[in-house]
Amino acid sequence: MLPFQNMSGDPEQEYFADGMVEEITTAISRLPWLFVIARNSSFAYKGKAVDVRQVARELGVRYVLEGSVRRAGNRVRITGQLIDTATGAHIWADRFDGALDDIFELQDQVASNVVGAIEPRLRQSEIEHASRKPTSSLDAYDLYLRALAEVHKFTAEGVCQAVPLLQRALAIDPAYAPAAALIGLCRHFQRDHGMGGPILDEDVADSVRLARHAIAVGKDDPDALWMGAFVLAVFAGEHASAAGIIDRALALNPNSAHAWMHAGLVAGFRNQPGAAMKALKLAMRLSPLDPQGLGAKSALALAHLAAGRYEEALEWADRALYEQPRFDPAMGVKIVACARLGRIDEARNWLKRRLELQPGLTIAKWKKNAAVRIASPELLALFEDGLRKAGLPEA
């Protein structure tokens, strides 16, 4: 994180720019998988024209975040860009405008937006680096990144290929908490999203065991915490505990779009649509172009369904399905919302598509899993009624 350039030489603007760097450096430092150079070291380059590749060599870093601040009256414009120094490529760039009425609030807001936006871009860049490594030199972190790349495909093949990669990572490092937690998330996709399921009861039990392990050994790793917590919610029905664990993840990294997204999902399962919408909208604001953003859109569809806003539920379900036409959770919301609105033919149409993903699905089979995942009896009954009206057979 290089000092932001003060384009005017204004002392007040200089103070703002220095504070901006301090806030962003502190926020990025909360990402446990990143090594972040301390502010004092980066400030050695203040006021100098620098070559980012030279900075990378001297500081021993792969990525450099740089920016500038311009002021016009009471307003400032902050620009930032994230550079992969190995290639010289820009992997993120954006600008932010604001008023200096409350300088601290503006610094907090920009820092939050920057970190929320660059975290998924950094992760994707790391995935691409790992994918180019020879197989013989992969460590636990590389295997985890390769597994993430497979999961991000949102296909049955990708999810199924991710699990053995994660198991290899744990064989190298049994205490690698994110890998342990992600196995449960993969099995959730397999069982509940129609991605390669069904899975065995012992796989569910193993996922819960690994999730508890991830939470215990990764108590300071926000990614391990939110993933492990979500697995406990969907596989063990421990929604209140999961919400508390995700709160800890957010205390460690309040700019984690994925933690906010899963906080919203758990709130939705608990029939708390207001809390769910607030968390999910924050997740989308933090990372508007996130590769997993369709999960937030689908979860917003669920929250609107729980609130009885069926037209809005359809709108968000359609947004998710536009990104991934085979995304099962969004299909489920669409079926139920259509049924509640009396659009039975449309509901049946989407049920037919869903049954292509999960052939042999019945009310009884759906309810066996959903009764654990959905904490609210009222929400469970809403789904059951909608699926029945759409024509899902009882058994």
Amino acid code (one letter) for 135:
T
Write down the pLDDT at residue 62. 78
Write down the pLDDT at residue 122. 74
Q: Which CATH class is domain 5-118?
A: alpha beta
The 3-state DSSP class for residue 343 equals coil
Write down the pLDDT at residue 197. 66
- How far is residue 71 CA from its own chain's centroid? 34
> What's the per-residue H, E or C state across 118-186?
HHHHHHHHHHHHHHCCCHHHCCHHHHHHHHHHHHCCCCHHHHHHHHHHHHHHHHHCCCCHHHHHHHHHH
Write down the pLDDT at residue 1. 47
* Beta pairing partners, 98: 76
Q: Is 351 left (phi over 0), alpha (psi -120 to 50) or beta?
A: alpha
Write down the pLDDT at residue 326. 86
Helix (H) or strand (E) holding 291: none
Residue 83 burial (10 A CB sphere; 0-12, 13-18, 19+): buried
Decide whether 133-235 matches 255-395 in CATH topology. Answer: yes
Write down the pLDDT at residue 379. 96
Write down the pLDDT at residue 281. 93
> What's the per-residue H, E or C state across 28-72?
HCCCCCCCCCCHHHHHHHCCCCCCHHHHHHHHCCCEEEEEEEEEE
pTM for the whole structure:
0.77
Distance, CA of 26 to CA of 77 (rounded, Å): 21
Write down the pLDDT at residue 12. 59
Residue 132 burial (10 A CB sphere; 0-12, 13-18, 19+): exposed
Residues of the chain with pLDDT under 70: 1-18, 20, 32-35, 38-49, 129-137, 197, 291
Architecture of domain 255-395: Alpha Horseshoe (1.25)
Distance, CA of 270 to CA of 210 (rounded, Å): 23
**CATH label, 133-235, candidates 3.90.1150.10, 1.25.40.10, 3.40.50.880, 3.90.1280.10:** 1.25.40.10
Write down the domain spans for the chain. 5-118, 133-235, 255-395
Write down the pLDDT at residue 114. 77
